[in-house]
Amino acid sequence: MLQETLSLSTKVKDPWLDVLTGNNLLSRAAIEMEAETLRASLTIDPSDALEQLIISDIILHWLAIQNAIKTSSEYLHKYGSVPATQERHWSACQSRFLASIRELARVKSLLSPKTKLQVNIAQQAVNVS
Q: Which residues of 1-37 are buried (b: 16+ CB within 10 A; e: fewer)?
A: eeeeeeeebeeebeebbeebbeeeeeebeebeeebee
Is 72 in a helix, a strand, or coil? helix
Per the CB < 8 A criterion, the answer to whether 56 and 105 are in contact is: no
Taking only the tens place, the pLDDT of each residue in 71-117 is: 999 999 999 999 999 999 999 999 999 999 999 999 888 877 665 65
Rounded to two decimals, what is the model's pTM?
Answer: 0.76
Helices 2-21/25-42 angle, 10° precision: 140
